């Protein structure tokens, strides 16, 4: 019985790509570090960091699981996704629904523990995160909707630390939105033909793969400009700007890996490099704060 339960948990975690929580989590932690400069001792309390981590894990897990539920019919007929846990029968619909409810509960619990403002605003964040799953049915801007949902994480983290909203976390959230949306366009190239057949919406389908990649590059360039603006407004130093430069080089390499006629290296661009983008940026922000 225990072995069966542990196996189910493992499959559930694989289903939501739990290890890819690393994409957005470092940007939430960046926001925590920057917001803490307004506190008397300049550093956040350990409990705040812990509950921010819990909120991020709960939110992302809920969003991914809900997406698998909503897309299960499409996943079953898409050769790329047919082996996912739900369409392949590794998990039942009831198990995934239960997992989603638990993840939502963790997110709401974390928001409650952080402060009243976070808890009051949590349903709006949840609506954005879960609502993304439906956007592919009616708009080619679904990539930005995904970016917006994840871009709320640094804003929420800032509110968790200070209880007040300022321009810096909003710009940081916008940078995350453009970064996520830009590489989701790259990821969507894999389903270009499937989207044409089924009527699902994506930017590659709307304007073609070549133009969609150009938009992705413009979004990523704009993301870097916003990161520079965040550093200027928050009075950050050379370590931060070196981090932006390093991250920019990673994103440029990511973009070079994918071409309209060759998407064989999408997984490297999407998963490996984007993990390094977020982790590297957090390290450089931390170095900036520790040094200055």
More confident residue, 201 or 257: 201
Place of tokens 């809920």: 62
User: Which domains does the chain possess?
Assistant: 18-287 (1.10.357.140)
pLDDT at position 228: 97
Is residue 115 within 8 A of residue 160, CB to CB? The reply is: yes
pLDDT digits (tens, 9 = 90+) for 207-231: 999 999 999 999 999 999 999 999 9
pLDDT digits (tens, 9 = 90+) for 131-163: 999 999 999 999 999 999 999 999 999 999 999
Q: Where are the beta strands (DSSP E) in 139-275?
A: none
**Burial of 58 per CB tally in 10 Å (0-12, 13-18, 19+):** buried
Is residue 223 within 8 A of residue 179, CB to CB? The reply is: yes
- Model confidence pTM above 0.85: yes
**CA-closest candidate to residue 27, choices 275, 291, 290:** 275
Is residue 217 within 8 A of residue 169, CB to CB? The reply is: no
Region label for 17, one of left (φ > 0), alpha (ψ between -120 and 50) or beta (otherwise) = left
pLDDT digits (tens, 9 = 90+) for 56-94: 999 999 999 999 999 999 999 999 999 999 999 999 999
pLDDT digits (tens, 9 = 90+) for 1-38: 777 777 887 888 788 776 666 667 899 999 999 999 88
Who contacts 37 (Cβ-Cβ below 8 Å, separation ≥6)? 234, 289
Mean pLDDT of the chain: 91
């Amino acid at each position: 019985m225990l072995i069966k339960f542990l196996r189910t948990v493992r499959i559930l975690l694989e289903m939501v790509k739990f290890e890819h929580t690393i994409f957005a989590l470092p940007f939430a932690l960046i926001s925590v570090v920057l917001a803490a400069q307004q506190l008397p001792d300049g550093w956040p309390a350990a409990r705040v960091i812990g509950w921010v981590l819990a909120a991020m894990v709960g939110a992302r897990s809920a969003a991914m699981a809900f997406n698998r539920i909503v897309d299960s019919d499409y996943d079953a007929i898409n050769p790329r996704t047919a082996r996912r846990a739900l369409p392949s029968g590794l998990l039942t619909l009831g198990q995934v629904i239960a997992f989603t409810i638990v993840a939502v509960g963790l997110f709401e619990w974390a928001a409650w523990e952080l402060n009243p403002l976070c808890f009051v605003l949590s349903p709006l964040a949840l609506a954005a995160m879960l609502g993304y799953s439906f956007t592919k049915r009616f708009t080619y801007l679904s990539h930005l909707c995904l970016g917006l949902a994840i871009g709320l994480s640094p804003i929420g983290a800032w509110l968790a630390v200070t209880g007040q909203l300022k321009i810096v976390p909003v710009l940081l959230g916008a940078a995350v939105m453009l970064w996520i949306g830009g590489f989701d366009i790259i990821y969507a190239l894999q389903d270009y033909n499937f989207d044409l057949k089924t009527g699902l919406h994506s930017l590659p389908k709307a304007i073609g793969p070549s133009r969609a990649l150009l938009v992705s590059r413009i979004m990523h360039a704009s993301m870097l400009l916003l990161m520079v603006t965040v550093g200027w407004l928050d009075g950050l130093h050379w370590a931060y700007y070196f981090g932006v430069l390093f991250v920019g080089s990673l994103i440029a390499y990511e973009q070079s890996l994918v071409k309209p006629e060759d998407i064989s290296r999408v997984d490297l661009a999407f998963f490996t490099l984007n993990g390094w983008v977020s982790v590297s940026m957090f390290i450089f922000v931390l170095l900036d704060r520790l040094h200055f």
